[in-house]
Amino acid sequence: MITVMVCGFSRSGTSVVARLLAHNGMGYPDEWLNHHTELPEDQRGGFLKQLIEENRRGEFFGVKATPTVFHSWHDRLKPDFYLFLWRENQILQAISDYKLSINGQAGIGVGQSESEIPVPYDDEEILRRYWQIVNGTAAYRKELDDAGIKYLAVRYEDLISDEGKRQFVKQCAEHFGVELKNEIDIDIGMRPQRNEQS
């Protein structure tokens, strides 16, 4: 089995990446562990085994990892490969994260522009989130580097165009050491079904 950890902060492109991987036979990284960071150590082995059995896609199992999930689950999961997501325009990332907190996940679709979501702005809160994203992203990346973890760095802005999505899929296949069996699928509007097999 191939395990993949997608590291990144909110609104850095992890959902786009997860769907591109799912539609191209390389698992479906999701927030499987977000609500289990406090699980007692003696329960983790059985929980993780069942989680993988229920949510693996073919030979792949993937998980999205905020810093909290990384710290809590990395040593137990022992991923084979890592992706690190970052966003060059961190002001827009902060605005998007703020709008997500107001509207909820259903309020912002994959690839939808932040400007399409009408909510009242709270400049102070957006600025707080901006600095949290700036400092947190830098610290997260430094932690991976200091640990000697080799990862594929993925810039959100490179995933916006169709060609960028295709190049990302090719890069991942090369990074994971697998061959793409079908034509690259970049139609990521639909969330993959839980029981859909890749």
Residues 81-140 pLDDT 10s: 999 999 999 999 999 888 888 766 444 454 555 555 556 778 899 999 999 999 999 999
Residue 193 has pLDDT above 60, yes or no: no
Task: Give the residue, 172 or 119, on which the prediction is more confident.
Answer: 172
Where do the domains of the chain lie?
2-89+137-176
User: What is the model's pLDDT at position 107?
Assistant: 47
**Residues pairing with 64 in the sheet:** 6
Residue 190 has pLDDT above 90, yes or no: no
**Residues pairing with 30 in the sheet:** 63
> What is the rounded CA–CA span in Å between residue 130 and residue 10?
11
User: What is the model's pLDDT at position 37?
Assistant: 87
Helices 67-77 and 41-55: angle between axes, nearest 10 degrees: 90
**Residues pairing with 6 in the sheet:** 64, 83
Helices 123-146 and 90-103: angle between axes, nearest 10 degrees: 120
Residues 48-69 pLDDT 10s: 999 999 999 889 999 999 999 9
Q: Domain 2-89+137-176: which CATH class?
A: alpha beta
Per the prediction, the chain carries an average pLDDT of 87
